[in-house]
Homo-oligomer: A and B are copies of this chain.
Amino acid sequence: MNLEDFKHIISLRVRTFDVDSQGIVHNMNYFKYYEVGRVEYRRNFGYKINKTGVFDDGLKVVVVRNEVDYISYAYLDDILNVHTRISWIKNSSFCFEQLITNQNNGTIISKANGILVNLDNFNRPETLKEKFVNEIKSFENNLIIKKND
C-alpha cells in the first residue's frame, strides 16, 4: 500500500459510541468508517445510493470479504482520514483498498481490503458494466485488471 496511490479521501470524527472501555475505537467500528469511504468514493463519480441500498446507475454490490489490519489506536474525538481506492477489477467483482490515518499527525491507524461482487436482480454475480470499469480505469493509477472471476 502506497499513500500516494489514494486519490479519494474523506474525514470523519471518532464519536462517543465508537470507543470501548479501553478508550479506543472498537475494532468493529472501523468497518463503519470504511463503508462510508466506499459510498463516498462512488458519490465522487456522481452516483448516489438509493433507499434500497442500490446505486442509481444500477450497481448493486454485496461484500464477500473484508480484511483489516489494526496498526495504531484511534481515540475519542480524533479526526480520521479514510483513503479509498479500487485496486483491482475482475469480471463481476472488485477490491476496495483502504487506509485510515490520523488527520492531525498522519499516523497510519488501519489498513483494509474489501472485495465486492456485482449482483443482478436475482442476486447472482453479474459482469460489471463497461462504463463502471472504464471510469475506474481512468481514475485510478496502478489498477490491476484480472481476467477471470
Among A15-37, those with CB < 8 Å from B are: 15-17, 19-23, 26-29, 31-32, 35-36
Residues of B within 8 A of A69 (CB): 64-65
Q: Is A58 located at the chain interface by the 8 A CB criterion?
A: no
**A11 vs B16: C-alpha distance in the bound complex, in angstroms?**
17
Residues of B within 8 A of A75 (CB): 51
- Count of interface residues, chain A, beta-carbon cutoff 8 Å: 36
Once A31-B27, A64-B69 are accepted as A-B contacts, the answer to whether A21 and B52 lie under 8 Å apart by CB is yes
Q: Mark A46-85, 1 if CB is under 8 A from B, else 0.
A: 0011111100000000111111111100011100000000
A27 touches B63 (CB 8 A): yes
Residues of B within 8 A of A19 (CB): 20-21, 51
Which residue numbers of A lie inside 8 Å of B, CB to CB? 15-17, 19-23, 26-29, 31-32, 35-36, 39, 48-53, 62-71, 75-77
